[in-house]
């Protein structure tokens, strides 16, 4: 397959030839010939399958650029123009001096500078930043002494102008802050001085700084490496090594722990523990037994907040490790989540106030009991398997949950439900009279009767059967002739009273 030529850069040059050009396209790998019109280019170099560099032959006017490979010759109409434009001239450099390390911007002023392809500082090319007819800006490379600067365009190379590399003095150090630190290193040191640009190494004695950042020609921040005793700190740049300043490694005391808050938590972990003590700066590890804290934050030399990892229900030791050693242990208890197996009674009035016994497991550290969304009052821990509380007000059937440092109970195999009942109401007795000897069947009509647990006639208990939430059938007890009050009771309380008349014998 024949090669493809898409562009040539620059697209113009001196009729005398000698312009370095880059040819772009595809299928160029096996290029054997490059022509500008009918003239052969020289110095052909295949850079890749998509790029060739070459030097233009002499020519005039506009010439078609073609590339020939074993697959054929390109046919695209890519043109190169031979121009008679004048060669560039340069009149000034600003600045005309710079550091031996280079890197500074130099403004080259003159004429015919458009399309500059190269700015040489001696034999070393600078980096062209901008190019205009009367000005080229370039970044100076590293160098020494005085060198000639020239600008090359497609029309030739300019006259030279001198540029002087000025030696940069060796760095000097004037201050370290702080002047001491832990033997484990890792602390930040601010180094002040002069001529610090280009620093390549900071030594603490014979040990290089772990990291360092050049903030300005007069300041560096460095991370101290581990060490002992008093050592000399020096800075090295391409221009030499500074004077030394002393830095002292001071032993760090081991951390001590005085308090954990809280001292217990769920087996799933994830809760935040505040650790109080001394010498906590530089903490590298916090262990709960053998498990490291999930995360931790050093708030001050006397306080850390840590996220407890998961752990089995048990007591473990919490320790803190710093470069100064490992602390004394403090106990932390992993608490299993509570379970609720039953509540008794399971019913009560909507107004609340019923004393409820809750049975389950892991209840000893209970801090809250909820009936649905409502918080119970009067919490009393009887044992690890039993609590008593006063039910709050509520409606409907709700789940009873217990909260401890181990978490909140969930609905499991037990029956942790409590139902709020409406107060029972009697609105009819059929019949509403009977014999003094008793034994009559009386149908009691009303509402909220399903959980009826007693029926009385004038205070005397009667036997009864609950048929539905609206019907209870009772058998009258014997009673002296006269009218008495009939009342029934449910876990929600006593009903209203309704008159019943005992007829004389």
DSSP sequence for 298-344: EEETTEEEEEPPP--SSEEEEEEEETTEEPPPEEEEEEPPPEEEEEE
Strands (E), 79-206: 79-82, 89-94, 97-99, 105-111, 118-121, 124-125, 127-132, 135-139, 146-153, 156-157, 161-166, 172-177, 180-182, 188-194, 201-204
Task: Return the number of other C-beta atoms located less than 10 Å from residue 83's C-beta.
Answer: 14
At residue 490, the pLDDT reads: 93
At residue 84, the pLDDT reads: 75
C-alpha dihedral (382, 383, 389, 394), degrees to nearest 10: -160
Helix (H, G, I), strand (E, B) or coil at 82: strand
At residue 166, the pLDDT reads: 85
CA distances from 106 to 81, 118, 128 (A): 31, 14, 10
What would the two tokens of residue 312 be? 């089995």
At residue 234, the pLDDT reads: 97
Whether the CB-CB separation of 249 and 182 falls below 8 Å is answered with yes
Q: Is the pTM of this model over 0.85?
A: no
At residue 246, the pLDDT reads: 96
At residue 413, the pLDDT reads: 65
At residue 70, the pLDDT reads: 93
The pLDDT tens digits for 155-207 are 778 899 999 998 778 899 999 999 988 888 888 999 999 999 989 999 999 99
**What residues form DSSP beta bridges with 232?**
246
**What residues form DSSP beta bridges with 422?**
none
At residue 403, the pLDDT reads: 94
Q: Which residue shows structure tokens 């040990």? A: 207
Enumerate residue ranges in the chain where pLDDT < 50.
none
Q: Which residue shows structure tokens 């300019």? A: 158
At residue 252, the pLDDT reads: 76
Whether the CB-CB separation of 237 and 196 falls below 8 Å is answered with yes
Measured CA to CA, the distance from residue 323 to residue 453 in angstroms comes to 72
What does the DSSP assignment read for 389-407? EE-----SEEEEEEEETTE
At residue 505, the pLDDT reads: 73
């Amino acid at each position: 397959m024949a090669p493809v030529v898409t562009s040539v850069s620059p697209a113009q040059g001196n009729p005398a030839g000698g312009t370095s050009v880059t040819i772009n396209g595809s299928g160029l790998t096996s290029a054997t010939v490059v022509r500008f019109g009918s003239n052969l280019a020289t110095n052909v170099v295949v850079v890749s399958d998509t790029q060739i560099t070459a030097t233009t032959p002499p020519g005039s006017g506009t010439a078609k650029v073609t590339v020939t490979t074993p697959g054929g010759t390109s046919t695209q109409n890519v043109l190169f123009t031979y121009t008679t434009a004048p060669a560039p001239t340069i009149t000034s450099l600003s600045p005309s001096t710079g550091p031996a390390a280079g890197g500074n911007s130099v403004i080259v002023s003159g004429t015919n500078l458009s399309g500059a392809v190269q700015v040489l500082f001696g034999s070393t090319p600078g980096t062209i930043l901008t190019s205009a007819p009367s000005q080229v800006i370039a970044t100076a490379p590293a160098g020494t002494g005085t060198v000639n600067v020239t600008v090359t365009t497609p029309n030739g190379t300019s006259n030279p102008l001198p540029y002087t590399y000025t030696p940069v003095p060796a760095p000097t150090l004037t201050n370290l802050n702080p002047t001491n630190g832990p033997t484990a290193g890792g602390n930040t040191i601010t180094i002040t001085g002069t001529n610090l640009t280009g620093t390549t190494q900071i030594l603490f004695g014979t040990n290089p700084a772990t990291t360092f950042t050049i903030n300005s020609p007069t300041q560096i921040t460095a991370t101290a490496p581990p060490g002992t005793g008093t050592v000399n700190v020096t800075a090295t740049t391409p221009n030499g090594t500074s004077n030394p300043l002393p830095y002292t490694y001071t032993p760090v005391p081991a951390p001590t722990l005085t308090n954990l808050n809280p001292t217990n938590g769920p087996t799933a972990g994830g809760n935040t523990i505040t650790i109080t003590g001394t010498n906590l700066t530089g903490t590298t590890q916090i262990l709960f037994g053998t498990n490291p804290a999930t995360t931790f934050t050093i708030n001050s030399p006397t306080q850390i907040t840590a996220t407890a990892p998961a752990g089995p229900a048990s007591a473990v030791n919490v320790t803190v490790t710093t470069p100064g050693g490992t602390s004394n242990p403090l106990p932390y208890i992993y608490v299993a989540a509570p379970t609720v197996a039953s509540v008794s009674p399971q019913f009560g009035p909507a107004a609340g106030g019923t004393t409820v016994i809750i049975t389950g497991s892991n209840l000893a550290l209970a801090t809250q009991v909820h009936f649905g969304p409502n918080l119970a009052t009067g919490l009393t821990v009887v044992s690890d398997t039993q609590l008593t509380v006063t039910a709050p007000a509520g409606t409907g059937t709700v789940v009873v949950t217990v909260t401890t440092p181990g978490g909140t109970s969930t609905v499991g195999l037990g029956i942790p439900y409590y139902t709020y009942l409406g107060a029972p109401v009697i609105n009819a007795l059929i019949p509403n009279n009977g014999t003094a000897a008793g034994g009559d069947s009386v149908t009691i009509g009303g509402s909220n009767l399903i959980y009826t647990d007693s029926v009385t006639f004038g205070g005397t208990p009667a036997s009864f059967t609950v048929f539905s939430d609206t019907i209870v059938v009772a058998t009258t007890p014997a009673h002296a002739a006269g009218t008495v009050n009939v009342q029934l009771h449910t876990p929600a309380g006593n009903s209203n009273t309704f008159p019943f008349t005992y007829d004389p014998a």
